[in-house]
Structure 1
């Protein structure tokens, strides 16, 4: 067994470039795992700066200096964020509060609907089965209410931290964009000279990560906006809140759409009952999800790495379990990173084998 491990190690890590890449990867994983909550503002700022670097570069091509281009992009970005917070934020808060207040009534209405099923369809379901379902649903609702209350109390405790983030994150983004060249040079000095595989992985991942972040932001905006417009036209209550939920559901591949179907169907059922409007809402929602998966995603992520759905779901579960929301958001890029690392080490092994053969 020891000889097998030794032979595997010599194949994969006999080159200094491979060892450098391995230690850098381990250091990054350890830093994120142990100090992730402490460096969240830096990570968020880095993501935003990575996203905003694209318009800054394009403004530079028109002859603007880096400082001027960064200032323009930051002013536009802050203006958009303030508009979202001041205009859309109160609407979402009001609709969320109303939905929480009406949830007990919706549960009671659903309970009455279930209790009537044995009388209407005695051959399909019994009263005992319905009672078991009702008890289970009530228990889940109570558990969910406790989770929401706990999250609300925690959010009040973290209000000061969020206020600090609202100041620190824009400042970090501005200086990351303005001093991009200097910061990149400083980081390059910290990395050992045996960096060929690191550069190979970086070049393979750089454009893919940019395409993924930009494409995912556009997908959220498009799907959320189209859903909001459709729900408004159909006169569905809580259209803004449900539109936001549908938009953010695209963060979790394959699973997000199924999860958001529950509140959309529940609100439609509570408002319209089993009438034509209810089925119309579900059909329109299904069409939006079909267009997203078969038209929008191929257009936005045409340059993304082709990953098997099994790998994507495993990545969502694994990285989401480690880092929560951001783990889910970056599940596909992280899975692509793992693939790039495997390709780098495999290519290195093939090169060594060719050199030995010659």
Structure 2
């Protein structure tokens, strides 16, 4: 064997080295992707909790920024004022309405199964609907399912204590994030190669502005829907109007599915009184949703991001299947985040298509 043959036997040809390098790179990327996917699945609750903390921090930061701009002051002082004002409003409102809310919550848990039982009895009188009624679960199971859903509204930790713990964590971590956001954003930017850090800052700023605008608009919408629902149900004479209005306002955070979830107990209670009242209750919820859809929602989308309804519902189904009720609740801001990332990092940077710009306010 000559010297060239010995060298070929020791060192593989350049083509084989390139193929081996690509195979190694692809295998490494595949392993990294699988590891990240496993981490997302195994740590889904923690990741959703962190995302909720970030949303809270963005809301606090935006409110303090607006206050500091309107009344020239240090932003940290403005943040203290914002947090104190929100806690004061929540504390005073809870102290003033706690007895009524507690009483109505207890009555709601009792009235809903009774209303379901009355509805089943009424519907069973019609032969066509009798087969459908037979498929419905018993009222006790419905109560259990509702009871399981309410404490799991946070779904990061189980039970009522866990849900309260989630709220405390979100508030405190959100305050810390909002107090010194540059510490955390600068650390995240440093993970990006130097040549891309300028673009990373643009993406980060766009994400912050989009989520802040969406949160401000959605907070105003939730307040309006809650107040309008309570007043409307009170005028119609539907019992437990206050707690039903609070539920409607909170569930309005979830587009499309939230109003349906809020309307079901109200319609059941109204139906237990009279079919006409149930019809008026349905019309009330439809009217509020029409006003929100054609007046409030366009204002939110003009300031934030325009998400097609079908996309939002699909994202709710996907995240709901993967992460439960918390995934449904956070599906819209997650979809807005993904929309910005896809537009800026894929469409604009990779495809070099700058025509699909974000709609100006």
* TM class by smaller structure: 0.7 to 0.9
Q: 2:144 — aligned with what?
A: 146
Q: 2:16 — aligned with what?
A: none
1:220 and 2:229 correspond: no
Which of these residues, 76, 79, 82, is aligned with residue 88 of structure 2?
79
Structure 1 residue 229, shift from structure 2 partner: 0.8
Q: TM-score, normalised by structure 2?
A: 0.74
Bigger mean CA offset, 181-190 vs 291-300 = 181-190
Q: 2:324 — aligned with what?
A: 324
Which of these residues, 42, 49, 68, is aligned with residue 60 of structure 1?
68
CA contact (8 A) 2:233 2:281 kept: yes
Q: 1:99 — aligned with what?
A: 108
- Take 1:81 and 1:225, find their aligned partners in 2: how far apart are those partners? 15
1:285 and 2:285 correspond: yes
Q: 2:176 — aligned with what?
A: 175
Q: 1:299 — aligned with what?
A: 299
Number of equivalenced pairs: 321
Instruction: Write the deviation string for residues 68-119 of structure 1: whole angstroms up to 9, x where unpaired.
Output: 22222221121122234434444333222212223343233223322333xx
Structure 1 residue 219, shift from structure 2 partner: 0.9
Q: Which runs of 5+ in 1 are unaligned?
A: 1-9, 11-22, 118-125, 353-358
Q: 1:122 — aligned with what?
A: none
Q: 2:357 — aligned with what?
A: none
Q: 1:261 — aligned with what?
A: 263
Q: 2:14 — aligned with what?
A: none
CA contact (8 A) 2:225 2:249 kept: yes
Instruction: Write the deviation string for residues 156-192 of structure 1: whole angstroms up to 9, x where unpaired.
Output: 9745545655655443333322222333333333443
CA contact (8 A) 2:113 2:143 kept: no
Structure 1 residue 225, shift from structure 2 partner: 0.6
Q: 1:342 — aligned with what?
A: 342
Instruction: Write the deviation string for residues 336-357 of structure 1: whole angstroms up to 9, x where unpaired.
Output: 33333333223333449xxxxx
CA 110–26 in structure 1, closer or farther in 2 if over 3 Å, else same: same
CA contact (8 A) 1:251 1:328 kept: no
Structure 1 residue 32, shift from structure 2 partner: 4.8
Structure 1 residue 329, shift from structure 2 partner: 3.3
- Take 1:211 and 1:36, find their aligned partners in 2: how far apart are those partners? 26
1:47 and 2:68 correspond: no
Q: TM-score, normalised by structure 1?
A: 0.75
1:35 and 2:35 correspond: no
Instruction: Write the deviation string for residues 2-40 of structure 1: whole angstroms up to 9, x where unpaired.
Output: xxxxxxxx9xxxxxxxxxxxx999998765543243466
- Take 2:166 and 2:142, find their aligned partners in 1: how far apart are those partners? 28
- Take 1:30 and 1:131, find their aligned partners in 2: how far apart are those partners? 46
CA 342–27 in structure 1, closer or farther in 2 if over 3 Å, else same: farther
CA 335–171 in structure 1, closer or farther in 2 if over 3 Å, else same: closer
Bigger mean CA offset, 167-176 vs 307-316 = 167-176
CA contact (8 A) 1:208 1:333 kept: no
Q: Which runs of 5+ in 2 are unaligned?
A: 1-21, 23-30, 354-361
Q: 1:109 — aligned with what?
A: 118
Q: Which of structures 1 and 2 has the larger relative contact order (alpha carbons within 8 angstroms, sep 6+)?
A: 1
Bigger mean CA offset, 62-71 vs 35-44 = 35-44
